[in-house]
Structure 1
């Protein structure tokens, strides 16, 4: 990896041990402006901002229009979801009717609410068996979805939601399933294990949701998914949500879905609200370029992507040597540390997160307004998922790509496939493109004031 020359960099302070993913820079750079309150916003899928402009236009529906239980509506409004997003408008009434759904929508557009609201509405508290399963490809997404469902249903008088994933104690899950559970949110391997042990009884499940269906139906998971489906009743409802629609999803749909209602919001939503730039650099210049970006951008929170776990740890160490606090996360870390990093970053305890593509799937952190591809991805699908971490529904975001000579062909191919324009990075980036305060106030943000160092919030 490239190295950067830094003068007078103090010793690095680390948390519990090397693998916990939380690195802290001893020397904090001077800050002109305090950390934005946005870093501490609740993580919600649908913004309470207007759903026009940078997001997609809506039909003007209200959540009250869907005849939902009053207790469920209370939870929805307490989450800050004032009006349904486009995917929620399209999805909720169809899901309530019991029909199968295939929905294509970008991450950050309210997909979790689109399936959790009808799922929770249809739970019958008089029945003490598992009634719905939500399957997701990563442990972090399972935890996020379970937290959202618990929050939404907290006034419903006893809806029991359980998250179960690999990397956690199987005995704890077995004991939990000995009690009443209505909704299971799971990664495929763990739920299949519990089903085969006879612990998770799924023969009366009425609804199964597959979030990030393109990933769940890839070669990594498809055998497990088919096995799980075989244990379900024939008349179950299946809801598929996917940003992309590869052949694997088409084959599964043809085999298992009955006249599905198809929703496609991708063209309208794909990259709106996200301004994309590239910086042409050599490998040795990357860390220096990153340091320059940190000193000049007004970052609420940033996510920085590398293409390997080794490069994640090396870069995280470099960032702390530059004087910035930094978390990192990758699949080879112990699960308890992954959970802690995810939770603390989501709650705004650190400004920067370095990660692999583990973190691209459906993770919703609204304070993230800058995504940096330290290593440029190989394909358009990965690029779309990565930069979707910024510019969440109704918000602004900035995506910056560090491009070497080897990446230039991928850059051109991804621009063509996504029908988007990735421009050379200017000497000064207009803050109104990615900072909400500047956007709403109309400030020019063109660099007249002094460049702002980001302030660590740790």
Structure 2
């Protein structure tokens, strides 16, 4: 019997839980769900990958009235990536609830397009505080009937300067709402927020710890002019199927990615200045194993739905201990083993000492080696991504793409990887040695009876 059955979820939600294969609850789910489904305010401290999205997703869906109109629930997130992930999970959980509409409201998409989509109010809104506030001020969004508010990764929203926007958004909501706050860390600013906006909350603390049993952390002291060589050595030594390399600035992400590309690594850069379509394509390629190394700023430290990430590497030591913990938390998720490697110059030693004090134990230092710059250390990613100039609006489904590839194109099923469908385009990962054949056959054939432009994403 599923552990979720003890929560007395409505039948459609229990059906979704069973269909998704959830049999046991994570600690944050077991401790928070009874309060969430009972309408209590909740403060939950749990690190990334602890199952909190399922917890508050089931909580708000259990109290949703699908027959009523207007926005009933809202989830505030610090980044577009996290908003996308949350919305995707809520939709999965709501699969057996009738006519549930979930809208994502984030920057990077024209306001006009979102205003048009809000003409028929969704049941649930997921988005960033700034964009949601824009709609509330414009009058294209109405929170007067809101019953449930979730502040996800609240500490990160404060770190990113969203405090005033968050407070302004809350000002548009009824006082008699249920409010839930989820955070990996619990600084004084979060305590103040809880005191002002939550009523007699149930407090849930899942040991954030330092993931000592799940994540091995190693620190390497390096000279500034040897960082790139040492990074290449670490990647060549461990040969991870996927790795995130964290930098502190946009410029560094671009420079490091370019240097690794010259050495033969399958690498892409992710930072806040990318257009939405470019960000989507970077994340699709990294998630489907068409790219092995993602060099990113801290925009990627939260909210990326990347499964089985074996390694994270800190190229620049984080400016504070909380950011360090969030970076490390990208690996070793949901009980998986993880490895976190950190390059530290003499100028960054003070930051390392702050991290050591926060962790409460001595850091593990090892000797750094270096790969000469002239050597090509990289290994090409196992997959290649093909992009289709058609998507949801063209009624294109994953089954249509899979059928074309394994049917007329003649590819074996195991040569096809992840398929991602967006509104106007779709992406599919193909084994590298089969990609050219797949592209040739798709261009010569048709999908759903019509020609669709297909190209390789480079």
**Superposition pairs for residues 198-209 of structure 1, below 5 Å?**
198-209=139-150
1: distance between equivalents of 2:77 and 2:331? 21
**Superposition pairs for residues 38-57 of structure 1, below 5 Å?**
none
2:116 equivalent in structure 1: 175
Q: Are 2:168 and 1:191 aligned? A: no
2: distance between equivalents of 1:375 and 1:427? 15
Q: Tell me if the contact between 1:95 and 1:118 (Cα under 8 Å) persists in the aligned partners.
A: yes
1:350 equivalent in structure 2: 291
Offset of 1:307 from its aligned partner? 1.0
Q: Tell me if the contact between 1:329 and 1:355 (Cα under 8 Å) persists in the aligned partners.
A: yes
1:340 equivalent in structure 2: 281
1: distance between equivalents of 2:317 and 2:72? 42
Runs of 5+ consecutive residues of structure 2 not aligned to the other structure: 370-376, 384-458
Offset of 1:268 from its aligned partner? 4.8
Q: Tell me if the contact between 1:130 and 1:181 (Cα under 8 Å) persists in the aligned partners.
A: yes
- Scaled by the length of structure 1, the TM-score of the pair is 0.78
**Superposition pairs for residues 56-455 of structure 1, below 5 Å?**
62-218=3-159, 220-268=161-209, 270-425=211-366, 455=380
1: distance between equivalents of 2:240 and 2:19? 27
Runs of 5+ consecutive residues of structure 1 not aligned to the other structure: 1-59, 429-451
The runs of 4+ residues in structure 1 deviating greater than 6 Å are none
1:31 equivalent in structure 2: none
Cα distance per residue 1:284-315 (max 9 Å; x no partner): 11111112112221412100001110010011
Q: Tell me if the contact between 1:96 and 1:122 (Cα under 8 Å) persists in the aligned partners.
A: yes
2:443 equivalent in structure 1: none
Q: Tell me if the contact between 2:331 and 2:339 (Cα under 8 Å) persists in the aligned partners.
A: yes
2:381 equivalent in structure 1: 456
1: distance between equivalents of 2:216 and 2:163? 35
* Larger RCO (CA within 8 A; separation ≥ 6): 1
User: What is the DSSP-based 3-state SS (H/G/I as helix, E as strand, rest coil) of the residue aligned with 2:120?
Assistant: coil
Q: Tell me if the contact between 1:294 and 1:454 (Cα under 8 Å) persists in the aligned partners.
A: no
- Scaled by the length of structure 2, the TM-score of the pair is 0.78
Q: Tell me if the contact between 1:63 and 1:84 (Cα under 8 Å) persists in the aligned partners.
A: yes
CA RMSD in angstroms comes to: 2.0
2: distance between equivalents of 1:326 and 1:81? 34
Offset of 1:78 from its aligned partner? 4.0
Offset of 1:112 from its aligned partner? 0.8
C-alpha distance 144-267 of structure 1, shift in aligned 2 (>3 A): closer
Cα distance per residue 1:343-378 (max 9 Å; x no partner): 332233321100001111233312211000011112
2: distance between equivalents of 1:323 and 1:110? 36
Cα distance per residue 1:115-136 (max 9 Å; x no partner): 1111112111110111100000
1: distance between equivalents of 2:312 and 2:381? 17
2: distance between equivalents of 1:349 and 1:84? 33
C-alpha distance 453-215 of structure 1, shift in aligned 2 (>3 A): closer
Moved more, 358-367 or 261-270: 261-270
2: distance between equivalents of 1:76 and 1:111? 15
C-alpha distance 253-408 of structure 1, shift in aligned 2 (>3 A): same
1: distance between equivalents of 2:354 and 2:271? 27
Q: Tell me if the contact between 1:279 and 1:425 (Cα under 8 Å) persists in the aligned partners.
A: yes
2: distance between equivalents of 1:347 and 1:84? 27
Count residues in correspondence: 376
Offset of 1:339 from its aligned partner? 2.1
